[in-house]
Amino acid sequence: MNWFQRLSKTGRMEKELDAELRFHFETQVVDKIQAGLTEAEARRATRLEFGGLEQIKEDCRESRGTLWLVSIVQDLRFGARILAKSPGFSLTAIVVLALGIGVSTLAFSLYNIATLQFIPVRDPATVVRIQRRSPENITPSVPYASIAYYRDNAKSLSAVMATMSAAPMVLNQDEQRVSGTFVSSNYFGELGGSAAAGRLFDAALDDANSAPVCILSFRLWQRKFNGDASIVGKAVRLGGKPATVIGVASEAFATLGTDDPDLWLPLLQHSYFVEGSKSLTDPKFDGTILMWGRLAPGVSTSMAKQEMLSLTNQLRRLYPTEIWDREYIAVTPGAHFLSLEDGRPVLPLVGLLVLLILAIACANLGGLLMARGAGRQREIQLRFDLGARNLRIFRQLLTENLLLGLLGSIGAIPLSYCVLRLALVYSNAPSWMSAMPDWRVLLFTAAMGFVAALVFGLLPTLQLVRRKQNRSLWHQLVVCTQVGASSVLLILAGLLVRATLHTLYSDPGFDYEQVLSIDPGMSEHGFVPSSAKAYLDQLQNRLQSAPGVISVSMARNPPLVNRDVMITGISVGGRRIMIYPNWVGPQFFQTMHIPLLRGRYFRAGENNAVILSESLARKRWPTEDPIGKQWKNGKDLVVGIVGNTRAMELNNSDATEIYYPPNDDVLPDMSVLVRTAGDPNTLSPTIKSIATGIDPGLFPTLIPLTAGFRKNVSQVEQIATIVSLLGSIAIFLAVVGLLGLVSYSMSQRTKEIAIRLALGANRIEIITAVLRQFAWPVLIGLVAGVAITAGLSQILRRALYGISGLDPLSYMGAMAILIAILVLAASLPIRRAFQLDVARILHSD
């Protein structure tokens, strides 16, 4: 019989074992009778010789090698019975654990979807992302000239793909713009995409004379064209340029990276759709063209990296100025939603928050187990008295804890599934993202339950087995963990809530409420500086005379609604200052209500002048008068100082700004800003008709700055909501745990308290004595919590919107809440203590 047969045929083996030993016994008895003993004597003698029959059987069973498993099954069965016998305890423990584990499962599921799971493309394991790196520089993009060189020469890559996101485009005459991505013609083929209608891009598009085409995303096809297949073959206008829709990508098609566009265009036709674009021909082009590859069969990423490095060194000969010193190429797995690098600053923070919740849940479990252990003392003692070995009982209790952990994990999975499902739907996640847990999530959840049960079940169990009465150290540890972890979460929640309020209610340094931004989108439509200037002049003049308009100006980066944030920098005394540059018209500061502190505004047509924000002026010339000073290269003179603003990034209160007059290069990129007397939305039809009336080929976007403000704020609000939610879970768990603990330790000392009362002690003194044992752990927990948060908040600083990571109000507030909860948790059992019936308790035994 092999091991499995021995395991499965236990019943038969038991019967045989019994029969075998019985045969031996009976034969021995018969022999003894034959030797002259009476039957009774023979039986007695044989029984004595045999010794413990059960012991022999147990030793025989042990040789089967299946005993450990059989006894684990026994333990589990017994554990399940014990848990079922006290449903209140079991349910509390399972809910507490499920909450704690559920939060970490949720976080891990998100992490799993974003960075561990492959996106559903053909043969995802060989898809790689290719990026330029050097010791000094990091960029996600590769110039097209280099991509073409790598594509033609790399033997380690069987295919090279390129993608480039376009600025939002006007589709036909629609108000709402669509997002587009330019892709190389092999993109769909390499990723194994299929068409819901028509066909996808193919190599025929690489012909320079091929007609302009586009492919719709399934989503856009449904939204705009109601899923009508007759759109295939029809022409649409994209940014005014006609193009034929040749197909619709299937709903399941997954794009590389986080890009999720409404439509795709051939990269080789970039200069047709974006007039004047040099993205493909200029080796200096620094727009973001992303490079992807597919590893040739049998090639590893490190082999590919090596070959790319040698190709880069050859490229340096072609473009000596464009290739960096010591440049190398990073080849990383490409078929993931996010790469590990993307989440680096956030990941440890989220991980820590989640572990804090788990720690609180675990501490609760520890407290519960301990309180229950006291009630089981008698049962355990009985089992020892019946001859059970220490190890056997320890294992039995541990099995019980693990069973709890397992049940907690099982409860955590639907919890995390529901929240994740909601989150995916709410955030419009790509359709391939599924909330269904895969093996990694299941394994992680099980492991978390295992660790939780093991770590926090171990000590109470050990104490139970060792039959020790003193559990105050464990008490204190549990309280300390709970208080510490809860205070971190509460303080962080406080900081983030305050940060949100700060963004909402503090002065951003300018007045955005009645300002409308008009982005004519000139550069996308091939406007050159002269035509842009003519358009801008005409638009500003006409707007100026429109009724309800107070002032009009223009800016390269309109506050709050700018698409991308530009940052430049200077070094002052070896320290680098980050500066937000902007190119603005003379009326900009009046339009935005940014106060002029010194000097003057720009004059119309003025060049070689700059205006600094006060913060920048102070950093550059801390002691001197900056007016009239030369800026940087000596060409530009400082003519004025204006107030600080948080126009570019609301979360950056230390922002410094520099303003230039518009030069030729930036004119096609300018937006016009209009301050209106009333609600800007009521004026927007008028303004729109003025803007389109000048050049019908343009499709200006009108956005009130309040919309940009709301968008900015909503991001902070989301983070604050999530952390507050975690904070409330923490509070809930902490209340449950602390309440239980204090009640338990009061109940342990009921008799002592009663005696003291009977002897005339002051009730307050007694309560203080009971609570004193918690004072130190609470204090240590609070201090540790504050220290951890202070350290963490440095990571959070940029999200904290002008709040210092050490904002005293948040800290004090969190402490106050926590202490209030502790007092509450303590007061309920204390009230019970006050109502003690001293006489009855003292008579009870």
Partner 1 sequence: MTTPSKFDLPQGTLDLLILRVVALGPVHGYAIAQHIQMISKEALQIQQGSLYPALHRLENKGFLAAEWGPTETGREAKFYRLTAKGRTQLKTETESWERLTDVVAMILQHPLGEPS
Q: Name the residues that contact partner 1, by CB under 8 A.
A: 1, 6, 16-17, 19-21, 23-24, 26-28, 30, 48-52, 55-56, 59-60, 62-65
In sign, the C-alpha dihedral spanning 161, 162, 166, 171 is negative
Nearer to partner 1, 63 or 302 (CB): 63
Q: Is residue 540 within 8 Å of residue 692, measured between CB atoms?
A: no
In whole angstroms, the minimum distance from the beta carbon of 33 to partner 1 comes to 13
Distance CA(133)–CA(300), nearest Å, equals 19
Helix H or strand E segment including 248: strand 241-249
Give CA–CA dist 202/145, Å, rounded: 21
Packing angle between helix 390-426 and helix 439-466, nearest 10 degrees? 150
Q: How many helices (H) and strands (E) does the chain have?
A: 24, 22
CA dist 558 and 648 (Å) reads 8
> What is the closest distance, in whole angstroms, from the C-beta atom of residue 15 to partner 1 in the complex?
11
- Comparing CB distances to partner 1, the nearer of 47 and 468 is 47
- What does 58-107 look like in DSSP terms, one character per residue? HHHHHTTS-HHHHHHHHHHHHHHHHHHHSHHHHHHHHHHHHHHHHHHHHH
- Which H or E run contains 779? helix 763-796
Nearer to partner 1, 55 or 210 (CB): 55
CA distance 372 to 205: 73
CA distances from 299 to 125, 158, 755, 817 (A): 11, 10, 80, 58
Instruction: Provide CB contacts within 8 A for 281, sequence distance 6+.
Output: 144, 145, 271
Q: At what angle do helices 750-758 and 705-748 cross, to 10 degrees?
A: 70
Shortest approach of partner 1 to residue 52 CB, angstroms?
8
Say if residues 589 and 601 touch (Cβ distance below 8 Å). Answer: yes
Region of 522 (left: φ > 0; alpha: ψ -120 to 50; beta: rest) is alpha
Which amino acid is located at 60 in the chain?
C
Place of tokens 């520099």: 658
Q: Which is nearer to partner 1, 63 or 226 (CB)?
A: 63
- Phi, psi angle pair for 292, to nearest 5°: -130, 155
CA distances from 549 to 45, 436, 514, 669, 691 (A): 119, 54, 10, 23, 14
Q: Which H helix or E strand runs over 691?
A: helix 680-694
CB of 475 to partner 1, least distance (A): 46
**C-beta of 19 vs 838, nearer to partner 1:** 19
Pairing of strands 515-519, 671-676: antiparallel
Give me the phi and psi of 333, to 5 degrees please: -55, 135
Taking the complex as a whole, the smallest distance from the CB of residue 32 to partner 1 amounts, in Å, to 12
Question: Which C-beta is closer to partner 1: that of 12 or that of 600?
Answer: 12
Cβ neighbours of residue 544 closer than 8 Å, sequence gap 6 or more: 551, 552
CB of 568 within 8 A of CB of 581? yes
Residue 9: CB minimum distance to partner 1, A: 13
Place of tokens 């904002």: 807
Q: Closest approach of Cβ 44 to partner 1, in Å?
A: 11
Which of 50, 324 has the CB closer to partner 1?
50
Q: Which is nearer to partner 1, 17 or 841 (CB)?
A: 17
Instruction: Show the tokens assigned to 592.
Output: 């935005």
**Nearest distance in Å: CB 57, partner 1:** 8
Q: Which is nearer to partner 1, 45 or 355 (CB)?
A: 45
Instruction: CB nearer to partner 1: give 28 or 431.
Output: 28
Q: Least distance from C-beta 40 to partner 1, angstroms?
A: 17
**Which distant-in-sequence residues (6+ apart) come within 8 Å of 664 by Cβ?**
529
Ramachandran bin of 776, using left for φ above 0, alpha for ψ from -120 to 50, beta for the remaining angles: alpha
**Toward partner 1, which CB reaches closer, 62 or 765?**
62
Tell me how far, at minimum, the Cβ of 56 lies from partner 1, in Å: 5
Residue 574 burial (C-beta neighbours within 10 Å; 0-12, 13-18, 19+)? exposed
Q: How near is the Cβ of 27 to partner 1 at its closest, in Å?
A: 5
Closer residue to partner 1, CB minimum distance, 63 or 230: 63
DSSP characters for 466-500?
HT----HHHHHHHHHHHHHHHHHHHHHHHHHHHHH
Please, which residue, 22 or 632, has the CB nearer to partner 1? Answer: 22
Residue 380 · residue 464 · CB < 8 Å: yes
Minimal distance, residue 822 CB to partner 1, in Å: 59
Nearest residue (CB) to partner 1, 57 versus 688: 57
If we measure between CA atoms, which residue out of 391, 417, 369, 436 comes closest to residue 83?
369
Nearest approach in angstroms of CB 22 to partner 1 is: 10
Closest distance to partner 1 from the beta carbon of 45 (Å): 8
For partner 1, the closer CB: 16 or 507? 16
Distance in Å, CB of 63 to partner 1, minimum: 4
- Kindly give the pairing relationship between strand 213-216 and strand 195-198: unpaired
Which lies closer to partner 1 via its Cβ, residue 58 or residue 174?
Answer: 58
Q: In the complex, what is the shortest distance from the CB of residue 477 to partner 1, in angstroms, rounded to a whole number?
A: 45
Residues 687 and 552 sit within 8 Å (Cβ to Cβ): no
Beta carbon of residue 193, minimum distance to partner 1 (angstroms, whole number): 58
Proportion of the chain in helix, strand, coil states, percent, rounded to 5: 55, 15, 30
Q: CB of residue 49 vs partner 1: minimum separation in angstroms? A: 5
| Nearer Cβ to partner 1 (60/458) | 60
Determine if residue 306 is left, alpha or beta; phi over 0 gives left, psi from -120 to 50 gives alpha, anything else beta: alpha
CB 676 within 8 A of CB 497: no
Closer CB to partner 1, 20 or 837, in the complex: 20
